[in-house]
Amino acid sequence: MQEDILKLAYEVSRVTGEKVDLIDSVMRQTSLLAINARIEAARAGTSGAAFSVVAQEMGAVAIDISRISKELRGAIGSNIEKLELAGAEMMTHFKGERFTDLAHNAVEIIDRNFYERSCDVRWWATDSAMVDALEKPGPDSAAYASERLATILRSYTVYLDLWVADASGRVVANGRPRDYRVTGMDVSQTDWFKRSMHTGSGENFIVADIEANTALKGAAVATYATAIRQGAHNNGRAIGALGIFFDWQPQAEAVVNGVSLTEDERGKTRVMLVDARHRVIASSDGKGLLQEIVALDTDGRTRGHYQSDRALTAFALTPGYETYEGLGWYGVIESSAA
């Protein structure tokens, strides 16, 4: 609708200009005819005197109409320019608001997805196989824990792997041992392990920013973790940790590429998810992942849009979902001004 209004303003401006040009052309011809008429009247002498008066009046009328035409052109041109400017501003505003909503929806989808992941890790940490692998360490309990983790992975395809680590940080079981040979690996110095071992109860969990995990063949993952507690009791002593690794890239690509844009918009629009540092963690053009920092000017707002010479940028801060508060991520949409 806004684009139609702007197109109408351009069309009115074009048609008005054409018609005023026609009036100017007719008046120029009229002025020439009036001049020629006065010349012929002068040649006719006394008998042409009356016609000379008419010719003179024709010239005066032509001058008046030319003046009115000039004033009309100026008045219409000024108002059309204002209308075009107002239309462009209105179109930018509505487009910005729409893109802001789309940016919000994109990051909200991630929030809802990650809320489910936070439920998964807390639930699976109470599985008896995980607890037994730490309370009754040995090859049999470790093998059974790996079997249980493999069963989970067959149903939850969004994960690359699931690891059980003991209190010292040694991985004792994982769900895909053939793909990822991590058993025996020391994870005691990783952020996810240290933080999960300090969670207050079984209701708590940690989530880390997106990072490439070398032990998972360099794949980008979102890591969730919580403590595995003695006896699987909510307030039991932490005897190890469960780390689950969300396969970030395909899920994130589905979100940023699934944003509802027109074909024209899609060719000049970039949809992104950025973390709290404004680092690109997903992008519809596949560029800058985990490397590029977006110069996002939020001006203290949680959502909004702004126009620069280069692009219209819309953004929305993660709203969180249920017990998942979010990590300060933003949905961002940049639309080229070209």
* Span 65-105, pLDDT tens digits: 667 767 666 666 666 666 666 666 777 788 889 999 999 99
Residue 303 has a pLDDT of: 96
Whether 158 and 266 map to the same domain: the answer is no
Whether 244 and 129 map to the same domain: the answer is yes
Sign of CA dihedral 79, 84, 88, 94: positive
Residue 92 has a pLDDT of: 78
Domain boundary among 92, 113, 142: 92
**Domain of residue 56, residue span:** 2-92
Domain boundary among 235, 251, 267: 251
Whether 46 and 156 map to the same domain: the answer is no
| Percent over 70 (pLDDT), the chain | 74
Is the residue at 262 inside a domain? yes
Domain count across the chain: 3
Whether 154 and 59 map to the same domain: the answer is no
> pLDDT tens-digit profile of 248-280?
999 999 999 999 998 888 889 999 999 999 999
CATH code of 309's domain: 3.30.450.20
- In the block, which residue shows the tokens 């973790």? 225
Residue 30 has a pLDDT of: 64
Is the residue at 152 inside a domain? yes
| Percent over 90 (pLDDT), the chain | 62
> Cα torsion at 96, 97, 98, 99 (round to 10°)?
50
Is the residue at 97 inside a domain? no
> pLDDT tens-digit profile of 125-149?
999 999 999 999 999 999 999 999 9
d(CA 187, CA 196): 12
Q: Quick check: 135 and 166 in contact, CB under 8 A?
A: no
Q: Quick check: 320 and 326 in contact, CB under 8 A?
A: yes
> pLDDT tens-digit profile of 208-257?
989 999 999 999 999 999 999 999 999 999 999 999 999 999 999 999 99
d(CA 1, CA 244): 48
Whether 244 and 330 map to the same domain: the answer is no
Whether 238 and 136 map to the same domain: the answer is yes
